[in-house]
Amino acid sequence: MKHGVLGPGGVGGFIAATLARAGSPVSVITRNRDHPRTIEVQSAALGSWSAPVQVVPRLETDAVDLLWVTVKATQLDAALELAPAELVRGTVVPLLNGIDHVARLREVYGHVTPGAFGGESERSAPGRILQSSPFAWVQVAGYLAGPISLTFDGSGLKCTEAEDENVMLWQKLLLLAPLALLTTAEELPVGGIISKPALEQRLLACVGEAAAVAQALGVKVAPEPVIKAIAGLPAGFRTSMQKDRAAGQPIELDAIAGPILRGGRETGVPTPEVAALAERLQPFA
CATH for 166-284? 1.10.1040.10
At a CB cut-off of 8 Å and minimum separation 6, what does 202 contact?
182, 273, 277
Number of C-beta neighbours around residue 139 at 10 A: 22
Tell me if 3-163 shares its fold with 166-284.
Answer: no
Per-residue confidence (pLDDT) for residue 182, from 0 to 100? 98
Q: Do residues 88 and 159 touch, judged by C-beta distance below 8 A?
A: no
Number of DSSP helices (H) and strands (E) in the chain, helices first:
11, 12
Per-residue confidence (pLDDT) for residue 58, from 0 to 100? 97
Any idea what DSSP says for residue 249? Answer: P
Per-residue confidence (pLDDT) for residue 136, from 0 to 100? 97
Task: Report which residue type is found at 64.
Answer: V
Mean pLDDT by runs of 10 across the 285 residues of the chain is 97 98 96 96 98 97 96 96 97 98 97 97 97 97 96 94 97 97 98 97 98 98 95 94 96 98 98 98 98
Q: Do residues 169 and 105 touch, judged by C-beta distance below 8 A?
A: no
The whole-angstrom separation of Cα 196 and Cα 210 is 21
Instruction: Give the chain's largest Cα–Cα span.
Output: 56
Which of these CATH numbers, 1.10.1740.10, 3.40.50.720, 3.40.50.150, 3.40.50.300, describes 3-163?
Answer: 3.40.50.720
Per-residue confidence (pLDDT) for residue 226, from 0 to 100? 95
The whole-angstrom separation of Cα 180 and Cα 239 is 6
* Domains of the chain, residue spans: 3-163, 166-284
